Structure 1
């Protein structure tokens, strides 16, 4: 963990990514052009600083280009807690609660429009993106997640946090759309408000989180958002060759990356378009 007294030179002013707490960094572009906020959540064995510096994660470049603020949470463990009851419950504590509080703070600190809060992440960060969409749908407008699993798929039978789940990672945790949707609804019982629009990316040869998790995640969110599991339209070679973009109505979009492994590169333009940035 970097300490504020010894900042990473890339993150030191004039680069306006500044240390706020041990869990969060924020990047404020030189020229703010919109009252939107993007939360960028790192993968396992990473950090906010490493994710920010990763050339495959160009969100700070988008921030410079379009003038939106980005917040970069940093986990204190190897992976995000997407398995404990605390993190899988609205206001239950855990990592999801911590990130939700970051969002709430940013709304007032930077005068963010509550209807323009977007979440993205890869691998463990994608899992947390799904968990946040389930536990704090009232705070999030849209999600663009890369190489994840359904919300609640990594649930721990022992109640532990940040635990690896071999059954889920291998694509052996399968259920009907209704059951996957019920998993989401149980994370915030009684919530009947608007839920985030979901954009889901996965590589066809992912050796870390089975490609089958793509299908299960599509099942989950089409059920939650009242869409069919069959796409209403499909665009080959979109947003690039060997990718296929499937639309399941206005609220769910899936991108299947043929021949791509676990690290599907962030496609800034396509994710920003989904967010409306």
Structure 2
């Protein structure tokens, strides 16, 4: 498998209107647009960018950072090979955990971290002539929870998402703060259950009147996860299968994810699929190949 390029820890901050972005290294960008919560933007642009490149937003876990997530798995090397661009947002609030609980992020056109992330996407599409039909989001733990938030609140922006050990859209709605590494709110993370239609209504109410295409979803969870319980993965599948109007068609082994994973297909598996790993804890490690295949990028 490819390995991630080395981090350039001294990368300068790049203004959105000025200094060129140097290919092949992680750099911070400022002045990219509306950003009410001060979320930081880091970007990885490969040396060879595809014509009308796809864009992937990669969201770090609680306590993490853009640079940590950049170096933790091999996604940048796939960008080098395939010419897509990766945005690595970073939050420094709530012990570096994402805003997955407030109405601002759970509402289309609201405020919160989601607004800053959408601004990053718009900036990247405009600057690099990106393909607005090939915008994706993925994340781990808190980043996976935020992945659900982004595809729920902004179905007009994202084509698909991949959530590694996350929770359903609006699972943390109304809590005083997002979940932190020490577990400030465990109601959701312990496997909060709702009927499928209730979960689906949370998504629909985030953008009332929206009738366009809904993002496809890939849900990955460890069956030995004691921090964000496996039920959280199943609740995501309940939510998105109802939103997408799909039923579980067949289950099997995880294929490229490995024999320890059970693969749960909905419809033909192109719009919604779940992977649950026996003996896999928190968080399930991202698999770039499986994810990018689902996204249609390799």
| TM-score after normalising by structure 1 | 0.91
Residue 266 of structure 1: which of 286, 289, 294 is its match? Answer: 286
CA 1:157–1:238 in 2, change beyond 3 Å: closer, same or farther? Answer: same
Alpha-carbon offset, residue 92 of structure 1: 1.0
- Contact persistence 2:142–2:179 (CA under 8 A): no
Q: Deviations over 1:34-66 (max 9, x none)?
A: 511111010001110111111xx2211211121
Alpha-carbon offset, residue 15 of structure 1: 3.5
Worse-matched range after superposition: 97-106 or 160-169: 160-169
Q: How do 1:157-176 and structure 2 match up within 5 A?
A: 157-158=175-176, 160=177, 164-171=184-191, 173-176=192-195
Alpha-carbon offset, residue 189 of structure 1: 1.2
SS in structure 2 of the partner of residue 106 of structure 1: helix
Match of 2:27 in 1: 18
Alpha-carbon offset, residue 232 of structure 1: 1.1
Residue 182 of structure 1: which of 201, 209, 233 is its match? Answer: 201
Alpha-carbon offset, residue 190 of structure 1: 1.1
Aligned residues: 265
| TM-score after normalising by structure 2 | 0.84
Once superposed, what is the RMSD of the aligned Cα atoms?
A: 1.8
Q: How do 1:31-110 and structure 2 match up within 5 A?
A: 31-34=48-51, 35-54=53-72, 57-77=73-93, 78=95, 79-110=97-128
Measure the CA separation in 2 of the matches of 1:246 and 1:141: 20
The gaps in structure 2 that reach 5 residues or longer are: 1-7, 14-21, 31-38
Measure the CA separation in 1 of the matches of 2:23 and 2:272: 38
Q: How do 1:129-168 and structure 2 match up within 5 A?
A: 129-158=147-176, 160=177, 164-168=184-188
Match of 2:33 in 1: none
Alpha-carbon offset, residue 235 of structure 1: 2.5
Alpha-carbon offset, residue 33 of structure 1: 2.7
CA 1:271–1:123 in 2, change beyond 3 Å: closer, same or farther? Answer: same
Match of 2:249 in 1: 232
Alpha-carbon offset, residue 14 of structure 1: 6.5
- Contact persistence 1:18–1:27 (CA under 8 A): yes
CA 1:161–1:206 in 2, change beyond 3 Å: closer, same or farther? Answer: closer
Q: Deviations over 1:73-118 (max 9, x none)?
A: 0112120000011111111100011111111111111111111101
Q: Deviations over 1:133-168 (max 9, x none)?
A: 01000000011110000010011245x566742110
- Contact persistence 2:179–2:185 (CA under 8 A): no
Match of 1:205 in 2: 224
Q: Deviations over 1:161-198 (max 9, x none)?
A: 66742110111x21111000001111111111111100
SS in structure 1 of the partner of residue 187 of structure 2: helix
Measure the CA separation in 1 of the matches of 2:254 and 2:75: 23
SS in structure 2 of the partner of residue 167 of structure 1: coil
The gaps in structure 1 that reach 5 residues or longer are: 1-6
Is structure 2 residue 121 aligned with structure 1 residue 120?
no
Measure the CA separation in 2 of the matches of 1:101 and 1:161: 21
